[in-house]
Structure 1
Amino acid sequence: MDLFLLWTLFSLGIIIQAVYLLVIFGRVAFFKIPSSSQKTNNEEPVTIVVAARNEFKNLKTLIPKLFEQDYPKYDVLIVNDRSTDRTKRLLEEMMAVYPRLRSVTIQYTPDHVTSKKYALTLGIKVAKNDVILLTDADCEPNSNQWIRKMTAPVRENGKQFSIGYSGYQQKPGFLNRWIQFETLMTALYYLSFGLWKTPFMAVGRNLCYRKQFFMEVKAFKGIWHLEGGDDDLFVNQYATGKNTAVVLDPEANTTSKPKENWKEYRIQKKRHLHIGKYYRSEDKRKIGFYALSHALFWTGGIALLIYFGLKQNWEHFLIVFGIILGRSILLASIFTASNKKINGIKVPANILINDFLYLGYFWILGSISHQSKDIQWK
């Protein structure tokens, strides 16, 4: 390949990467978390909705945690989606202990809709309150202020969507370290653009919106047939800079149980990545420009290092190496600062190694997921 072209591609990658890291992701890294929210008179009732299928063990842990919240007016609705384990019996026992716990049982799913969207729609439809707070059965709130902080933009500021962060438990092993990195990378996309008033996605493990709005737009109209997208595609369709707020506060987060083997992780990510092809074109570009510049940076940089190494042109070799090192230091700094703001802890280990591996994740698994037709919830 022509040396001039290599330099051009490498330089283009560097410029775009610098814009993303400093200007876009910097919105999270340099974000000033507001002081703790004070209790207000506007303590509008909230309904927590959880769609669950065969989640007996997780619900047994989650339900008591949900009733530890420091918020006066809320109830919990569990949608029991065709469970074959002991979920129904557990809910009956729990409802005797927690008066504000309710359940809806689904016996079957119509052919023209996907299971989780159907479960969520029925749950939201029968919810007592207009403010809906969503999470999953394998999640837990990080603090007893979760309800108050996650719903504040909707209750107090007139927003239709409140977007929060949901991470994963830290455990030993390379897979978990990768999950921590990839989850933070994804969060930087949607939290940063959300803070820039151009939201394009969210995660259903920590999402709030109004029932009235959900019903007015006819729920998941147009995406009923897609397995997944009950969170990110719904937000992608209707979230705007005016009606959406990002909640960036460790006390407003939830934490999920991570996948513990590569097969389960691959199935999960195929579903997530597959849905991305249905985003609006401008939102695909938000992710695509970073991924393309990331690929140009690494492939161009490595190619230049090999070229100058073979030519024994050590002066230019060191220039390229210095640029790669400088970008790596910037990346580590931005990720560390961002993770501190999001999670209140230091960034996961092996960030630079995982950054390189992100090439294969995005371009290989992403391409496979884009074409996949065997996507399923459970």
Structure 2
Amino acid sequence: MIILDVLFYSFVVVVLIQVLYYGVLFGSFAFSKAEKPKGKNLPISVIICAKNEAENISQFLPSVINQNYPNFEIVLINDASSDETLDVFENFKAQHNNIKIVNVENNEAFWGNKKYALTLGIKAATFEHLLFTDADCKPLSTQWITKMAGYFSDQKTIVLGYGSYTPVKKSILNKLIRFETLLTAVQYFSYAKIGLPYMGVGRNLAYHKDEFFNANGFINHIKIRSGDDDLFINEVATAKNTALALDPKSFTTSIAKTSFKAWFRQKRRHVSTAKHYKFKHKFLLALFYISQVLFWLLGILLLSTLHLWPFVLGISIIRLIIQFLSLGYAAKKLKEVDLILMLPFLEIFLLILQFCIFINNLISKPNYWK
């Protein structure tokens, strides 16, 4: 009984931690009113780095070219592709005078490092305000540049956007990928909301050139092949210089991986960069994950023994209600409401997956950039 009592009180502490995360931290984002972009029509350089993306560029670049914005250029970076990416770039450039091509050849010192290619592209950009997306991304409206640029101000020199994945009917994998993307976005938007920005996603991210050059580019993590987006933002973002782009017209979408194996490899690369975050961010992120795991483990164990089960059940229901409300409102903002009905299943599956990724990354290093 003493052991069960200890487990029960531990469970109460875990639930309190979870309530603080979902109700207070994530609630600061979920229940707040989104700031509207002011729309200054600043000159914008859209930067797209591609490696062996000929097919995706052909399909998705027109949605960037056709943006309804008065003054923008598109900087296309060919990162030593072995397919027809450069040919596709040149075909588009021949038809549009606001396209600039940066052709990057293999460099022995920076072989396979996307940060080297991006650095050359940023230096080649004509304008001071940079907007980044990926070769397989599509803006959800012709107002994408307008809305993202509208969040810039004299103080706000970094804009964190949302990059979604296109829904696929009757696909559990697609829902799991989208749920992981939603939860990640809720976290980085929430931390930024309370003044602790820690990451952004390269599918939809903007910042001023000065932020890049004042930090000496990617030099502090150039040897880490991943992290051109999240590690850079982790280094330079502050409470004062970071804005959140939450207008639905500022969102982008991508085609999610269609095989679990491919997605698992992708997530291994993403997760491997987290160990390079600032300590305070690593601590808070780890505490959230551990408290999630302990909530389910301790809750199931206590309910299976029927030890103080009415209290365990009641506390669990309170936590679940707060979680549903917080993520539900956040999902409404990010246009992902269909995921909420499967919340407990998706959460448990994701926790197991994250544990497997952690173990795999301990055993071997993940692959980077294509």
Normalised to the residue count of structure 1, the TM-score between the two structures is 0.92
- How many angstroms apart in 2 are the aligned matches of 1:48 and 1:358? 33
Native 8 Å contact 1:250 1:344 kept in 2:
no
Shift of 1:141: 0.8
Native 8 Å contact 2:199 2:234 kept in 1:
yes
Counterpart of 1:357 in structure 2 is 349
Native 8 Å contact 2:106 2:112 kept in 1:
no
- How many angstroms apart in 2 are the aligned matches of 1:13 and 1:277? 23
Native 8 Å contact 1:177 1:348 kept in 2:
no
Counterpart of 2:18 in structure 1 is 17
**Per-residue deviation, residues 237-289 of structure 1 (Å, max 9, x unmatched):** 11110111111221111111101101110110000000000111101012112
Native 8 Å contact 1:204 1:231 kept in 2:
yes
Shift of 1:182: 0.7
- How many angstroms apart in 1 are the aligned matches of 2:232 and 2:92? 31
Shift of 1:209: 0.7
Work out the percentage of aligned pairs sharing the same amino acid.
Answer: 35
Native 8 Å contact 1:233 1:278 kept in 2:
yes
Counterpart of 2:88 in structure 1 is 90
**2:219 partner SS:** coil
Q: Which runs of 5+ in 1 are unaligned?
A: none
Native 8 Å contact 2:265 2:366 kept in 1:
no
AA in 1 matched with 2:155: G
Stretches (4+) displaced over 4 A: none
Counterpart of 2:276 in structure 1 is 278
**2:324 partner SS:** helix
AA in 2 matched with 1:6: L
Shift of 1:375: 2.6
**1:205 partner SS:** coil
**1:170 partner SS:** coil
Normalised to the residue count of structure 2, the TM-score between the two structures is 0.94
1:113 and 1:213, CA in 2 relative to 1: closer, same or farther beyond 3 A?
farther
- How many angstroms apart in 1 are the aligned matches of 2:366 and 2:283? 26
**1:282 partner SS:** helix
Counterpart of 2:286 in structure 1 is 288
Per mean C-alpha deviation after superposition, the further-off stretch among 362-371 and 292-301 is: 362-371
- How many angstroms apart in 1 are the aligned matches of 2:309 and 2:368? 48
**2:197 partner SS:** coil
1:346 and 1:173, CA in 2 relative to 1: closer, same or farther beyond 3 A?
closer
**1:335 partner SS:** helix
Counterpart of 1:102 in structure 2 is 100
Q: Which runs of 5+ in 2 are unaligned?
A: none
Check if 1:332 corresponds to 2:333.
no
Counterpart of 2:158 in structure 1 is 161
1:76 and 1:188, CA in 2 relative to 1: closer, same or farther beyond 3 A?
same
Native 8 Å contact 1:28 1:341 kept in 2:
no
Counterpart of 2:5 in structure 1 is 4
Shift of 1:344: 6.6
1:229 and 1:351, CA in 2 relative to 1: closer, same or farther beyond 3 A?
same
Choose the corresponding residue for 2:226, options 228, 252, 263: 228
- How many angstroms apart in 1 are the aligned matches of 2:124 and 2:285? 36
Check if 1:377 corresponds to 2:369.
yes
- How many angstroms apart in 2 are the aligned matches of 1:16 and 1:113? 44
Choose the corresponding residue for 1:143, options 141, 144, 158: 141
**Per-residue deviation, residues 12-39 of structure 1 (Å, max 9, x unmatched):** 110000011111111221121345x454
- How many angstroms apart in 2 are the aligned matches of 1:358 and 1:327? 18
- How many angstroms apart in 1 are the aligned matches of 2:80 and 2:340? 37
Per mean C-alpha deviation after superposition, the further-off stretch among 116-125 and 347-356 is: 347-356
- How many angstroms apart in 2 are the aligned matches of 1:256 and 1:140? 6
**Per-residue deviation, residues 140-161 of structure 1 (Å, max 9, x unmatched):** 111122112212232x343221
Check if 1:212 corresponds to 2:204.
no
Counterpart of 1:297 in structure 2 is 295
Name the Cα RMSD after superposition: 1.8
AA in 1 matched with 2:166: Q
AA in 1 matched with 2:368: Q
